[in-house]
Amino acid sequence: MIYRVTDAWQASYDDPVRLRAGEAVVLSGREDLWDGHRWLWGRDPAGREGWLPDSLIEAGRALRDYSAMELSCRPGEVLDALEETHGWVLCRNASGAEGWVPRRCLTAG
């Protein structure tokens, strides 16, 4: 799927939380709703912290590989969508950089 950026987005973190499938994650108990989706605050084995989609964690372990890396982008930019979850889209830009962008900043096409 191809998306066009409608609203600029600036990445929030330089070194976000990253997990490999099966790795333990420490949850703080902090939760947030983003566009109706439940997110959990967690810490990876390297000590990085950040928001994790609730569907990623089961019994304190990551169900799949995940990185919370966000992608800064400008209006008009065209991005390839790789995955979508919890109101965010994992995108790749023309330079090959990948990261998450809020779905509300994008339009199909």
Q: In this predicted model, what pLDDT tens digit does every residue of 11-55 receive, in sequence order?
A: 998 899 999 999 999 999 999 998 899 999 999 999 999 999 999
Length of the chain: 109
> What is the percentage of the chain residues whose pLDDT exceeds 90?
95
What mean pLDDT comes out for the span 62-73? 97
What mean pLDDT comes out for the span 67-92? 97
What mean pLDDT comes out for the span 86-93? 97
Binned at pLDDT 50, 70 and 90, residue 109 comes out as confident
Average pLDDT value over all residues in the chain: 96
Q: Which of 30, 77, 25 is nearest to 99 (CA)?
A: 77
Q: Compute how many other C-beta atoms are within 10 angstroms of the C-beta atom of residue 35.
A: 10
Exposure string over 73-100, b if 16+ CB within 10 A, otherwise e? beeebebebeeeebbbbbbebeeeebbb
Cβ 19 vs Cβ 66: under 8 Å = yes
Cβ 39 vs Cβ 33: under 8 Å = yes
Which sequence spans correspond to the domains of the chain?
Answer: 2-12+69-108, 18-67
In CATH, what number does 2-12+69-108 get? 2.30.30.40
